[in-house]
Amino acid sequence: MSEPSVAVVILNWNGKQLLTDFLPSVIKTRYSNLQLIVGDNASTDGSVDYVRNNFPDIQIIENDRNYGFAEGYNRILERVQADYYVLLNSDVEVPENWIEPVIKAMEADSQIAAAQPKIKWQKDKSQFEYAGAAGGFLDINAFPFCRGRIFDQIENDLGQYDQAKEIFWASGAAFFIKRAQWEETGGLDPDLFAHMEEIDLCWRLKNLGYKIIYCPDAEVYHVGGGTLDANNPYKVFLNFRNNLIIMQKNLPSTEAFIGILIRMTIDFVAWIQFVAKGKTKFAFAINKAHYQFLSNLKKTKSKRGNRQLAYSKHTGVYHSSVVWSFFIKGIRHFSQLKDFQ
């Protein structure tokens, strides 16, 4: 019996140097039924010619302009046929056998829709990586965090998270999804543009009764921050705005109303801290995020599905505040958090 077909798709926008650094590892991937694709968001740095001239076995699919991460992937994957899609960031190094363990785990259960491998820091492979680590979770106020990373506290990989586990969200840095469920949900939400779009997709999948898993038997190495620097106010804007959007989209009505009020209050505390530290551009980014969110309430409401399951019932929810646990209780490691669904 042949292996399921897999398409690894790297979305690129002016990332020639990253492709130079990391495509050599990707083309060494060992998997029998594999397509390797670079989807390009109208780059102007010679990226496409570089791939075409140096990696003739990699397929190139081009968008007519930069659609961002979410719509960029949607448009590329409309033209890809495979049983599984793997959305792989351009700043990820991979070992040879990083695909088969994840596909094997997903094939074992028809209810598993998406997954991620262990994600470690490319610059120090003893550490987990900020954007994905050992799987994503949300707290009671829908703050995202990971096994192996709470806020800026990164753990070393000592084997403490070597157990396969159902999680809340899989990282977009190396995101595995069955094509059937990608098409069922309509893919990523283009209005998010970038950041938290994978959390939104996983949340929609969970509302439909599917599972998201972490597979520790495979690992990849992510640089991180390849598109937007962590200190970029635009990234702050996207994170604050998009977190509110995905709450409105995916929480049941009453939970959404209360949860958004709480989150906006917490955001105001962050705004005060930015102002106190003289980071006015970041404070303004929060203002802009709230303004855009409130201006699009009607549009976001139209995207709500028919099956918003009670948030507390989902696997991968921490039934307390990770903000309180981290800043007040001094908890630094995921293993210290106890109140989980």
Residue 341 lies in a domain: no
Which portions of the chain are predicted below pLDDT 70? 1, 225-230, 341
Distance, CA of 164 to CA of 102 (rounded, Å): 10
Which domain covers residue 97, as residue numbers?
6-222
SS3 at position 116: strand
* Domain end point (choices 193, 222, 251): 222
Tell me how many degrees the CA angle 17-152-133 measures, rounded to the nearest 5: 65
Residue 117 lies in a domain: yes
Residue 1, in any domain of the structure: no
pLDDT, one tens digit per residue, over 141-158 is 999 999 999 998 999 999
Residues 105 and 46 grouped into a single domain: yes
Tell me if 102 is assigned to some domain.
yes
Residue 185 maps to a domain = yes
Written as six digits, the tokens of 122 are: 């490319």
Domain assignment present for 60: yes
Across the beta sheet with 136-139, the strand order is: 153-154, 149-150, 144-146, 136-139, 317-318
Choose one of 202, 222, 242: the last residue of a domain: 222
pLDDT at position 270 is 94
pLDDT tens for each residue of 13-31: 999 999 999 999 999 999 9
Final residue belonging to a domain, choices 194, 222, 250 = 222
In a domain, 189, yes or no: yes
Q: Quick one: which of 169, 173, 166, 153 has its CA closest to 219?
A: 173
Instruction: Tell me how many domains the chain contains.
Output: 2
Considering the domain architecture, whether residues 84 and 105 belong to the same structural domain is answered as: yes
Residues 131 and 13 in one domain: yes
| Other Cβ atoms within 10 Å of 34 Cβ, number | 16
pLDDT at res. 227: 46
pLDDT at 230: 58
Same-domain check for residues 175 and 70: yes
Assigned domain for 21 exists: yes
Compute, in degrees rounded to 10, the torsion defined by CA atoms 212, 215, 218, 223.
Answer: 60
